[in-house]
A = this chain, B = another copy of it.
């Protein structure tokens, strides 16, 4: 059984019927590094569930890329804004590691939500978490110093440092790779420690 179904069942105790309905519409895909899951100006037609691998969400600017978010196995990937509204995305999403994905198309998701109240609740929870997460992130960017953001990230998501190239992490923190490198040595981060 795919991870996504296992997780949904564990939390929501969904019925056989609901499981089948989900299984019927999901598409298993593999996405390699150097490809895109979603490009700016494209509509996010499918939301993905990552079985294995990782992705990053980023913005392109004339001078640089700004990495804004990371996605790992066992979580959803996509631009919620573009997916919900089916309008062009302002963000790019691409794999950092090779990914195994389960794709759910917009129309299928809407149909599932219509049909199964439990999945409607699930969708609402996902939306809620997304909204609250972005609220918190915005607050952190405003009230925490770069060094504090680094420390929080290290506490809360140490795996990011293990699996994501530093330049992306630096972009996520809003600092240069050099500064991130210095934080790492300052806080004794190296291969022999917990990382």
Contact = CB atoms under 8 A, between A and B. Distances in A.
Given A127-B85, A131-B80, A142 B68 contact: yes
A141 B143 contact: no
A179 to B, nearest CB: 14
Given A90-B132, A91-B135, A132-B90, A142 B127 contact: no
Contacts of A124: 84-85
A177 interface: no
A166 to B, nearest CB: 16
B61 A127 contact: no
Q: Is the interface of A mostly helix, strand, loop or mixed?
A: helix
A87 B142 contact: no
A128 interface: yes
Contact size class for A?
20 to 34
Interface string A46-58: 0000000000000
Interface string A103-128: 00000000000000000000011011
A38 interface: no
A125 B128 CA distance: 17
Q: Which residue among A79, A85, A131 has the maximum number of chain B CB atoms within 10 Å of its CB?
A: A131
19 contacts: A59-B139, A59-B143, A68-B142, A81-B132, A81-B135, A84-B128, A85-B125, A85-B128, A85-B131, A85-B132, A90-B132, A91-B135, A134-B134, A134-B135, A137-B138, A138-B138, A138-B141, A141-B174, A142-B174
Given A85-B127, A138-B138, 16 more contacts: A59-B139, A59-B143, A68-B138, A79-B135, A81-B128, A81-B135, A84-B131, A85-B124, A85-B131, A90-B132, A90-B136, A134-B134, A141-B141, A141-B142, A142-B172, A142-B174
